[in-house]
Structure 1
Amino acid sequence: MLDKIAFTASRADVAQTARAALVTRYGDVPMKEAEVIVALGGDGFMLQTLHATQKLSAPVYGMNRGTIGFLMNTYAESDLTVRLAAAEEAVINPLSMTAVTADGTTRQALAINEVSLLRSGPQAAKLKITVDNRLRMAELVCDGALVSTPAGSTAYNYSAHGPILPIGSEVLALTAMSAFRPRRWRGALLPTNAVVRFDVLEPDKRPVMAEADAQSVMGVTSVEIRSEPSVSHRILFDPGHGLEERLINEQFT
């Protein structure tokens, strides 16, 4: 039974109150000594926790003290050690983003959900899309575009009318946001080992920002995105409520 638990919580009062109650009941150990890390908050905080603990071996079990909680389990104080012992594990790999800005600076970041490019000025963005060094679209005029993992396909990708991807599908979703030309172009499905490059056309006139799980880079001129199999995130879910089931269920709600 997992009993070396590290608790972490978002700044929200409801999450901090829950953490205090759980620590009193189950104790608390440093994250480096934990067998499991329990994150209290919403999906945004869960992503922060996964990024912060990616070099640790302990899996992360989230309990919802936020709003949507797609990546979280139902909150309850009782029987936590029993729930942890019975939990199902999902292993996901993030995306790696390499962004180059107008002054030549290179910024790198990892994204569990998606890497997105968004216009940051009054005019639509113009993007050139290359996949595995092969030009696929000479000009996409749009509000933005993103590349999503299966785990993140129900987040921003789904809001932009992108497809929900089953866990283990070995597919990435490339989705356009408000595409003007080609008219209503929704995007493409790509193999998980594809390398996607966006070049920003007219970056001075049509500035673009890039985001990797809310890590922002302003004024990008090019962004390269690929899956990062060397990094694995372990997430725990209550039996019957794993990530695969959630992704399927989301399509019928």
Structure 2
Amino acid sequence: MGLIEAVGLVLHPARHRPDVIGTIATWARARDIEVLGTPAEVAGYDRPITALPPAQLARRSNLLVSLGGDGTMLRALRLGCEHRIPVLGVNLGRLGFLAEIDVPELDEALCAIDEDRFTVETRSGLRISTADREVVAFNDIALVRVPGHGMALVEVQVERHPFVSYAADAVVVATPTGSTAYSFSAGGPIISPGVEGLLVTPVAPHSVFNRALFLSHREELALRVLPTSSELGVEVDGQLVAHRSAGTVLDITVEPAAARVVRLGRTTYYQRVQRKLHLTGSAAETT
């Protein structure tokens, strides 16, 4: 008897891969493991998959398998967050920062996990409260200007005291995981996922101070929409979840070890970043 009794699938909505689902179903049948999925995502597959609502799928699963890219992986991390379910990321298409394996390695990887030959890498999250719910982000939370309206004028408060104000297209608060996403595209640094903290990066800043900040996870962070700012959108991992008007204060807290990512020891974080960003050599080697 292995570690896994039920494996939950999180699928990319636009990538229909019956060959990959078949690999998982065959592996599961040989080990008497139940395969679970949400009704909308597994409806197109003629395989023995138990369809469950997301909350039930998370409660029943011992392992989540993300089939897609980083966006699918982020959904899987959010799904598994409450019950701290380990997530295995499988690349379908473009290489991502979070996925651990490619499709040809899937059967071997599932066997290794069921036989307890793997490690877990924890990832921190960011929590905010919107009008009707609390939301956890694993990449970033951003206050963004609404197209056609004025700039984002945002005051950064640290430990309940104003520290600096930005005038920008957006202000991004990222986890170390998210340091290679929106923040990186705005010129922010790459942060090791082994660090707990918050990275604050302005996007296209028009203020005198235009640098990123990195704060300890123990320091209280809040973003205040300044009185002269236009209404701003609140994006969580790239998804618009709310709008906030002038005077609003958003408290953002770190959730240490909010997610668990399966690692099989085949690549390091920095090797994955090298591959994704095509960092093949130093400047000296290219001159």
Q: TM-score range by the shorter chain?
A: 0.7 to 0.9
Kindly indicate whether the alpha-carbon contact (under 8 Å) linking 1:43 and 1:66 is maintained by their aligned counterparts in 2.
no
SS at match of 1:53: helix
Asked if 1:23 is matched to 2:25, the reply is yes
Q: Report how many residues are paired.
A: 244
Kindly indicate whether the alpha-carbon contact (under 8 Å) linking 1:196 and 1:224 is maintained by their aligned counterparts in 2.
yes
Kindly indicate whether the alpha-carbon contact (under 8 Å) linking 2:141 and 2:235 is maintained by their aligned counterparts in 1.
yes
Asked if 1:51 is matched to 2:74, the reply is no
Identity %: 25
Match of 1:80 among 85, 98, 109: 109
Kindly indicate whether the alpha-carbon contact (under 8 Å) linking 1:210 and 1:217 is maintained by their aligned counterparts in 2.
yes
Q: Distance in 2 between matches of 1:245 and 1:88?
A: 17
Change beyond 3 A, Cα 1:15–1:114: farther
Q: Distance in 1 between matches of 2:102 and 2:15?
A: 17
Q: Distance in 2 between matches of 1:168 and 1:246?
A: 15
Where does residue 14 of structure 2 map in the other structure?
A: 12
Asked if 1:90 is matched to 2:121, the reply is yes
Q: Distance in 2 between matches of 1:250 and 1:81?
A: 24
1:151-187 CA deviation, whole Å, 9 max, x = no partner?
Answer: 111111111111111122233211110000126x122
Kindly indicate whether the alpha-carbon contact (under 8 Å) linking 1:127 and 1:141 is maintained by their aligned counterparts in 2.
yes
Change beyond 3 A, Cα 1:168–1:74: same
Asked if 1:217 is matched to 2:219, the reply is no
Where does residue 197 of structure 1 map in the other structure?
A: 222
Kindly indicate whether the alpha-carbon contact (under 8 Å) linking 2:124 and 2:196 is maintained by their aligned counterparts in 1.
no
Kindly indicate whether the alpha-carbon contact (under 8 Å) linking 1:164 and 1:247 is maintained by their aligned counterparts in 2.
no
Q: Distance in 2 between matches of 1:2 and 1:226?
A: 33
SS at match of 1:226: strand
Unpaired runs of 5+ in structure 1? 100-104
Q: Distance in 2 between matches of 1:170 and 1:34?
A: 27
Q: Distance in 2 between matches of 1:119 and 1:16?
A: 41
Q: Which protein has the bigger helix share?
A: 2
State the 1:248 CA deviation: 7.3
State the 1:3 CA deviation: 4.7
Where does residue 102 of structure 1 map in the other structure?
A: none
Q: Looking at both structures, which has the greater relative contact order when contacts are Cα pairs under 8 Å and sequence separation is at least 6?
A: 1
Measured on the aligned residues, the alpha-carbon RMSD in Å equals 2.6
Change beyond 3 A, Cα 1:87–1:133: same
Q: Partner letter of residue 75 of structure 1? A: V
Q: Mean Cα displacement is larger for which, 220-229 or 29-38? A: 29-38
Where does residue 64 of structure 2 map in the other structure?
A: 37
Where does residue 282 of structure 2 map in the other structure?
A: none
Q: Partner letter of residue 72 of structure 2? A: F
State the 1:47 CA deviation: 0.8
Kindly indicate whether the alpha-carbon contact (under 8 Å) linking 1:12 and 1:41 is maintained by their aligned counterparts in 2.
no
TM-score (norm 1): 0.84
Q: Partner letter of residue 194 of structure 1? A: E
State the 1:223 CA deviation: 1.8
Where does residue 114 of structure 1 map in the other structure?
A: 140
Match of 1:165 among 174, 191, 204: 191
Q: Distance in 2 between matches of 1:153 and 1:177?
A: 13
TM-score (norm 2): 0.75
Kindly indicate whether the alpha-carbon contact (under 8 Å) linking 1:129 and 1:197 is maintained by their aligned counterparts in 2.
yes
Kindly indicate whether the alpha-carbon contact (under 8 Å) linking 1:7 and 1:23 is maintained by their aligned counterparts in 2.
no
Q: Distance in 2 between matches of 1:41 and 1:88?
A: 21
Kindly indicate whether the alpha-carbon contact (under 8 Å) linking 2:8 and 2:61 is maintained by their aligned counterparts in 1.
no
Q: Distance in 2 between matches of 1:50 and 1:60?
A: 7
Q: Distance in 2 between matches of 1:159 and 1:63?
A: 24
Where does residue 142 of structure 1 map in the other structure?
A: 168
State the 1:56 CA deviation: 2.7
